[in-house]
Amino acid sequence: MAVLSYREAVARGLAQEMARDSRVVLIGEDVGAAGGVFKATVGLLDQFGPSRVIDTPIAEQAIIGAAMGAAMNGMRPVAEIMFSDFFAVCWDQIANQIAKTRYMTHGQISLPLVIRTANGGGVRFGAQHSQSVENWAMMVPGLKVVAPSTPRDVVGLLAAAIRDPDPVIFFEHKSLYAVRDEVPDGEIVDELGRAVVRRQGRDATVVALAAMVPRALAAADRLAAEDGISVSVVDVRSLVPLDVSTLLDATRATGRVFTVEENPRLCGWGGEIVSILVEEAWPDLKAAPVRITTPHIPLPAADVLEDAAIPSVDRIVETIRKHVTAN
């Protein structure tokens, strides 16, 4: 079993699928010779050549448009948008064209393409390069939305996304790129729409995504050691499709739910999950679900301000401690 960084897992997942299927091509700014701005595509140009690892100008709309055209013509493109913030300049193509093509052609044209992007904060890139925008994609019918938290899941979920017959937005968290963990040898393919219970507990359930998963796990360890509070942690992994069954089971097991997300509080994905859990598991809840989010502000670049905005282990611990001991 290899120990890979999160960024190395991206390259491994891409190589796995490019070796398996000659229709898979990678397209984006600096994905070739430079190996990606976050070094997540190192080695792919040497392995697969310039006809399948294609550098582009700084033109996000051209990247997305080329990927859409390639998918329409039988390829399985993987397009890289360096920062998820830049979705804003190509949103018509993503939300109004790619997401709706299968529906508007009555199923005659499907678009098996993946858009990879670096999402989230924690690396002091400021308000235009640090947003968590998975909630933008989550609300558009026709898009699948995936956000892995571990190197192993990067490989398995990326493979599943590439093999999917419809468009998938694949959010890689930039603060996790250096994280290293064991990744099993051989082919790994996961199923989209499957959450994973990372930690079992009896007093509360924390629902988290991407970089918030390790923080939730660290908070759970502290609560167990300092307060004797036993916390389950559910890694959502896929917002669309959403594994409602696992979320409901975890909720019913403890009766208390906390969502932890980087999205600004207004219209973050935690609000949608809380709504589902309240509707479906109301008799089993011991207290109102609690959302732990960033404030509704642009994310600051200053380290002390960014740290204060994004949910920290301390804030997760304090919030759960306050509500569990009060109820």
Q: Are 207 and 260 in contact (CB under 8 A)?
A: yes
Structure tokens at 311: 């949910």
pLDDT at 216: 98
Provide the 3-class DSSP secondary structure of residue 298. coil
Q: Rounded CA gap, 151 and 74, in Å?
A: 29
Of 84, 189, 196, residue with least CA distance to 129: 84
Q: Supply φ then ψ for residue 223, to 5 degrees.
A: -65, -35
Residue found under tokens 């017959």 = 165
CB 268 within 8 A of CB 291: yes
CATH 3.40.50.920 range(s) for the chain read: 196-326
User: Which pLDDT value is given to residue 327?
Assistant: 65
Alpha carbons 229 and 206: distance in angstroms, whole number:
12
**What are the structure tokens assigned to 315, written together?**
């804030």
- Residue for token pair 């999950």: 273
Give the gyration radius of the chain's Cα atoms.
20
Lookup result for tokens 């701005």: 37
Of the candidates 287, 297, 294, 296, the residue with the CA atom closest to the CA atom of residue 320: 287
Cα-based torsion angle of the residue sequence 123, 129, 135, 140 in order, rounded to the nearest 10 degrees: -150
CA-CA distance, 8 to 3, in Å (whole number)?
Answer: 9
pLDDT of residue 326: 80
List Cβ neighbours of 92 (8 Å cut-off, separation of 6 or more): none
Nearest to 214 by CA among 276, 158, 150: 150
Structure tokens at 143: 């898009």
- Can the peptide bond before residue 295 be classed as cis, meaning omega within 30 degrees of 0? no
Mean pLDDT per 10-residue interval, the chain, length 327 residues: 96 98 98 96 98 96 97 98 95 97 96 98 93 96 98 98 98 98 97 98 98 98 98 98 98 98 95 98 97 96 96 98 88
Give 74-77's long-range contacts (Cβ < 8 A, gap of 24+): 74/23, 75/23, 75/24, 75/25, 76/17, 76/21, 76/23, 76/24, 76/25, 76/112, 76/113, 76/114, 76/162, 77/24, 77/25, 77/26, 77/27, 77/113, 77/114
Q: Which fold has domain 2-183?
A: Rossmann fold (3.40.50)
Residues of the chain with CATH 3.40.50.970: 2-183
129 catalytic, yes or no?
A: yes
- Those residues whose C-beta lies under 8 Å from the C-beta of residue 308, and which sit 6 or more positions away, are none
pTM of full prediction above 0.95: yes
Residue 138 in contact with residue 84, Cβ under 8 Å?
A: no
The verdict on domain 196-326 having CATH code 3.40.50.920 is yes
Cβ atoms of 166 and 111 within 8 Å: the answer is yes
d(CA 56, CA 49): 15
Active-site residue (options: 129, 173, 296, 323): 129
Q: What does the pLDDT read at residue 213?
A: 98
Run of H or E including 293: strand 290-294
Cβ atoms 77, 66 nearer than 8 A? yes
